[in-house]
Structure 1
């Protein structure tokens, strides 16, 4: 039989509260852990209350208000001819957040603060603070904020990084759904390791009611620890259907640590492009069932290459965690500190092998060599950089992408007359393949002043060949 947790409670609706769990009054700050759990055994136990747990954890959950300026064309008819008047309006949105450091560090969802011109955090006691974004990462949908507390120590939640959450565990979701005010809902963990929701995270699924406005709020266990940050729901109506998802604590902890130490969220990689193994692949590879992530490509001189990984290796586990698909592998790597030596179990030619791979930050190679194209040509004024795995990570590109990418188009320059966009990769100019920024400048200057130019661009994975009349 499993032993009792510190805050035993039931989520059966309508039960009268006839008793409460006794506990020492928590000070502002860390919630103390407790090692045990069990199922209610009597009617008295099922009538116990969540109230003491909520009183301890709710003060660390905040509201996050954002405001951003949106520009709209007043008359779409005239905008077609480039003469439309623009009107600005302020767009406001609401989410939730969790204080994870007593000095005012708040974690929320990246989609909550995306594009915000103004950020405001409102505490449980209704005090308001201006907030700034320390770091954000759209792939993991996490953002870390900082508020100035003038030296005051705020209540915060300890992040559970034990990865011990099990299906059936009771959890509470705390947030501000629909802007009605702080709300607590209860439920159980319906599943763990859900990877079909995004390309990166390995989500916790819960049936605790999660609604719009809950994004960025806390999912806490019966120890009062933050086991996840609520982020998404599956719903046709927009309301809760009992399928909510939360980003696990171990990824949240890594994002917070990386933000505070590096000023950005760094996700380590092993320099390998992988794909989940399906049933057809599993049979061809001699696996007993579909599992793992197969290596399709190795980045030259990357961590995987140096460790001896090969194409067609199947990664079965990382540091003891089973890998079932590509998303699960990326999630596990994202929880590591750069430089971590990961123990990886692979399947190669029908034999299980063990290798040690250094999970590190994506490489800044080749160097960026940023420059602004000069001369009398349609490229004049383009700001370009060399693509590298590190830059690809920042821009949300394929880390294996190579070449020269446009980082900005300067206004009022010759290049602004044409349809160049930041993120375009220049593949060739005048029939010559472009491999780095200095070569691009040389090719352009060699043909400076010509009236007709040919070029190839990669825009979002689609390659187009164009002729420019200059």
Structure 2
């Protein structure tokens, strides 16, 4: 009863339920100002864990500790490699009674051993079930947890958040142990952070520091609204600008982990552009908001829905779309097999299109790995498909073969070839298919004239054979 009274007094909630509408207001008495967040913390903190990830890397060891001696004595195996152990600290959130945990991918990436510690001091080994670098989220499972149940945090609908809402950040900053900080939602739908492929973050001024990564951002109902993932700092500590991945995205990754670890995202099949003021005026828009479609892949969901170049997507299922990053986020949180209602502007007219949420076509199975005595040995390339072109942020009209993998230490890596490069021509021969690439790249000429596209730039170079 006391907890319910405290929460209702803090934020004037109707009976706590997933669909309850929040009546936001300022505290209007001294008694309300003195109320505490302690009841929320007591409920949520047991489900927030410390994460310890151990990595083993190979470090080159020189004879007598001096690389100079390698030139004379060679690189004998006994001096060449030495295992080096490092450990990272982070946080995680238990979202399943069976011990399913959400954390940041960068906390556990490359780890050879992962352990978690509960707030009561119990420690467990965990298995990595899913790692998704695109969202910087990972799903862990407590090992040997049969017959045990664990405290959990329930997901909130992060789309219901408003700027100014109170939030609590719970995690393990600097490895000192579980800590709680309070603040407000400073901004929503922050983009351009360069943190993950899906730029759509909750910004908060609740103190977030190194070690908080993967921890919980909760609302005044004790529900998970985000996974703390990054800070903006010049000193290495909190400066009041922290970012969290919205719960609606985290929920998708958690469901994929619980279903077996495979992520299948909807594919829209259109290239998008940000609107500026001049472009918006030219399109008859009052404000530069929305996502401008510049190119549509044939037979893609966008094409099948009748969308085309010049259309501006302004909302999905009634939720406004501010920019292309917001559109990509909204699509990524939809379920495969459903339909989404796209509100668009075309030549000044408002239209509605039903877009099927379908998976991307598979990356072409027309691939080749180059081997033998050639500068391109170690490259695996695939013919460009619309889905692969969009993944590489290329236009659908780009022709060539895309490098999908480069073997470490291979001649191709030494040549400077990178994953994501699109090879356009070799020694004056246009590369349009995998057979042509394989035939030419396997040769050993006196020199190579290489033309490739990397990002938005075309690079031309000449190297020896």
* Coarse TM-score class (shorter-chain normalised): 0.7 to 0.9
**1:245 counterpart SS class:** strand
Out of 40, 46, 49, which is 1:62 matched to? 49
How much has 1:295 moved relative to structure 2? 0.9
1:18 maps to which residue? none
Query: How many positions carry a matched residue from both structures?
Result: 446
Farther-moved stretch of structure 1 (70-79 vs 40-49): 70-79
CA offsets per residue over residues 155-188 of structure 1, 9 Å max, x none? 1111112621222222111101111110111222
Q: How does 1:297-312 map to 2 (within 5 A)?
A: 297-312=295-310
Aligned counterparts of 2:125 and 2:162: Cα–Cα separation in 1 = 37
Q: Deviations over 1:368-407 (max 9, x none)?
A: 223333566444554333344555677x655856532334
Q: Is the alpha carbon distance of 1:79 and 1:272 closer, same or farther for their aligned partners in structure 2, counting shifts above 3 Å?
A: farther
**CA positional deviation for 1:306:** 1.5
Q: Which moved more, 1:370-379 or 1:299-308?
A: 370-379
Secondary structure at the aligned position of 1:7 is classed as: helix
| 1:191 maps onto 2:156 in alignment | no
The structure-2 alpha-carbon separation of the partners of 1:321 and 1:74, relative to structure 1 and needing over 3 Å to count, comes to same
What SS does structure 2 have at the residue aligned with 1:54? helix
Alignment match, 2:343:
345
Matches of 2:131 and 2:386, distance apart in 1: 18
Q: 1:207 maps to which residue?
A: 205
Distance 2:60 2:98 in 1: 43
Cα 1:356–1:372 change in 2 (3 A) is same
Asked whether the 8 Å contact 1:453–1:469 carries over to 2, the reply is yes
1:279–1:80 distance in 2 versus 1, CA, 3 Å: farther
User: Tell me, which stretches of 5 or more residues in structure 1 are unaligned?
Assistant: 12-22, 24-30
Structure 2, unmatched stretches of 5+, are none
- Is 2:332 aligned against 1:334? yes
3-state DSSP of counterpart to 1:287: coil
- 1:134–1:145 Cα contact (<8 Å) kept: yes
Give the deviation of 1:466 after TM superposition: 4.0
TM-score, L = length of structure 2: 0.85
Q: CA deviation at 1:72?
A: 4.5
TM-superposed deviation, 1:252: 0.8
Whether 1:107 aligns to 2:102 is yes
Contact kept, 8 Å, 1:201 with 1:247, in 2: the verdict is no
CA 1:243 to 1:379, structure 2 compared with 1: closer, same or farther past 3 Å?
Answer: closer
Task: Please name the residue that 1:383 is paired with.
Answer: 380
Is the 2:295–2:395 contact (alpha carbons within 8 Å) kept by the matching residues of 1? no
Q: 1:411 to 1:79 in 2, by over 3 A?
A: farther
Q: Residue 7 of structure 1 aligns with which residue?
A: 7
Write the distance in 1 (CA, Å) between the matches of 2:213 and 2:131. Answer: 15
The RMSD of aligned alpha carbons is: 3.3
Instruction: Check conservation: 1:429, 1:455, Cα contact below 8 A.
Output: yes
Report the Cα distance in structure 1 between the residues aligned to 2:275 and 2:408, rounded to whole angstroms: 47
Using the alignment, how far apart are the partners of 2:390 and 2:141 within structure 1?
Answer: 24
More moved, 238-247 vs 377-386: 377-386
TM-score by length of 1: 0.84
Instruction: Measure how far apart 1:74 and its partner are.
Output: 5.3
Q: Identify which of 396, 400, 405 aligns with 1:403.
A: 400
Alignment partners' CA distance in 2, 1:81 and 1:309: 63
Query: Residue 373 in 1 paired to residue 360 in 2?
Result: no
Per-residue CA deviation, residues 141-160 of structure 1 (Å, 9 max, x unaligned), is: 22222222223121111111
1:252 corresponds to: 250
| Counterpart residue number, 2:285 | 287
Distance across 2 between alignment mates of 1:209 and 1:278 = 34
2:452 counterpart residue number: 457
Check if 1:324 corresponds to 2:319: no
The 1:150/1:204 distance shift into structure 2, 3 A limit, reads same
CA contact (8 A) 1:9 1:46 kept: no
Once the two structures are superposed, what CA deviation does each residue of 1:207-243 show, in whole Å capped at 9, x if it has no partner? 2211111111101112111111111222222222222
In structure 1, distance between residues paired with 2:377 and 2:423: 14
Q: 1:80 to 1:6 in 2, by over 3 A?
A: farther
Contact 1:10 1:47 (C-alpha < 8 Å) held by counterparts: no
Deviations 1:335-381 (A, max 9, x none): 1112331111111111111111123322225x222333356644455
Stretch moving more, 224-233 or 158-167: 158-167
Name the SS for the 1:254 alignment partner.
helix
Question: Secondary structure of 1:55's partner?
Answer: helix
Rounded to whole Å, the distance in 2 between the matches of 1:452 and 1:80 is 31
What does residue 438 of structure 1 align with? 435
Give 2:173's aligned residue: 177
DSSP 3-state at the match of 2:160: coil
The range that moved more, 224-233 or 193-202, is 193-202
Compared CA separation, residues 147 and 279, structure 1 to 2 (3 A):
same
Q: CA deviation at 1:451?
A: 4.2
